[in-house]
């Protein structure tokens, strides 16, 4: 199985001012139509009528940050599959909650199935995160495959123009920079609709805006030229190019 953890606050490149650590409470998260349903689902974690669920989202979508907010709400632990293999199931508190981030890598099938069963038996809660939905994960154990196939899933959708603006403003604010609305209106329909591209754009804008230099549409245009090439501006609605 394979997967990749991510977070909304980690910069793609080093600079003199790092992005602040992402918040871990739901009321502090960037929220728009793209992630509203996932946030609402996770906020109800203590009241789920089931013990195990999955959160999916593309790289840089904030999936890890949402999992940490869920864990903070339920006083849960956040672990990777590799950490769980090293510590074993005895490291888990009885009837406790665990966020496995990511869940689609580093965990043997038999241990994974035992974990799911134990959480169900003890009345605990288990949140799994991954890029893709559980019924696409490569597992050999038929019982595990069946459990994954029937699991409730919350999905962080690809960013729309609203989320592009929200995320750009948030990322620049963490660099103590303000993004004018005319720049947001210029970038939102032109950026590829991936969270990685939003963060790359914010990082480039922050790096180009030095003392006495404002964030302008002209500067934003030059950043898009660097990212996509002068003749390859994606245009409205582009997904992955």
Question: Tens of pLDDT along 140-186?
Answer: 999 999 999 999 999 999 999 999 999 999 999 988 899 999 999 99
> Does one domain contain both 181 and 98?
no
Return the pLDDT at 20: 55
Count CA atoms within 13 Å of residue 79 on its CB side.
19
Q: What is the pLDDT of residue 175?
A: 87
**Are residues 87 and 187 located together in one domain of the fold?**
no
Residue 94 lies in a domain: yes
| 145 shares its domain with 208 | no
DSSP for the chain? -------SS--SS--SSPPPPPP-SGGGS---TTTHHHHHHHHTGGG-SSSEEEEE--TTSSHHHHHHHHHHHHT-EEE-HHHHHHH-GGGSPTT-EEEESS-SSS--HHHHHHHHHHHHHHT-EEEEEESS-GGGS----HHHHHHHHT--EEEPPPP-HHHHHHHHHHHHHTTT----HHHHHHHTTTS-S-HHHHHHHHHHHHHH--TT----HHHHHHHHHHHH-TT----TT-S--
In this structure, are 128 and 35 located in the same domain? yes
pLDDT digits (tens, 9 = 90+) for 104-119: 988 999 999 999 999 9
pLDDT at 10: 38
pTM: 0.84
Cα 132 to chain center, whole Å? Answer: 12
Print the domain residue range for 45: 26-155
Check residue 240 and give its pLDDT: 47
Query: Does residue 15 lie within any of the structural domains?
Result: no
Residues 91 and 202 in one domain: no
Please state the domain count of the chain: 2
pLDDT in tens, the chain (241 residues): 534 334 443 333 334 344 555 568 898 899 999 999 999 999 999 999 999 999 999 999 999 999 999 999 999 999 998 899 999 888 777 778 999 999 998 899 999 999 999 999 989 999 999 999 999 999 999 999 999 999 999 999 999 999 999 999 999 998 889 999 999 999 999 999 999 999 999 999 999 886 657 899 999 999 999 999 965 455 544 554 3
Are residues 65 and 173 both part of a single domain?
A: no
């Amino acid at each position: 199985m394979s997967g990749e953890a991510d977070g909304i606050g980690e910069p793609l490149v080093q600079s003199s001012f790092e992005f602040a650590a992402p918040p871990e409470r739901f009321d502090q998260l960037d929220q728009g139509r793209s992630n509203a349903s996932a946030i609402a689902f996770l906020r109800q974690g203590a009241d789920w009528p089931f013990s195990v669920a999955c959160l999916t989202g593309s790289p840089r979508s904030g999936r890890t940050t949402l999992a940490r907010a869920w864990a903070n709400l339920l006083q849960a632990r956040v672990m990777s599959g590799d950490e769980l293999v090293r510590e074993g199931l005895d490291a888990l508190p009885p009837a406790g909650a665990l966020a496995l981030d990511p869940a689609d890598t580093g965990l043997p099938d038999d241990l994974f199935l035992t974990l799911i069963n134990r959480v169900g038996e003890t009345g605990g809660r288990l949140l799994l995160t991954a890029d893709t939905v559980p019924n696409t994960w490569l597992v050999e154990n038929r019982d595990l495959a069946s459990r994954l196939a029937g699991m409730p899933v919350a999905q962080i959708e690809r960013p729309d123009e609203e989320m592009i603006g929200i995320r750009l403003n948030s990322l620049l604010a963490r660099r103590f920079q303000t993004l004018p609305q005319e720049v947001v209106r210029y970038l939102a329909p032109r950026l590829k609709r991936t969270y990685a591209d939003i963060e790359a754009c914010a990082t480039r804008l922050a790096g180009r805006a030095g003392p006495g230099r404002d964030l302008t549409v002209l500067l934003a245009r030059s950043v898009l030229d660097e990212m996509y090439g002068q003749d390859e501006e994606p245009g409205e609605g582009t997904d992955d190019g």
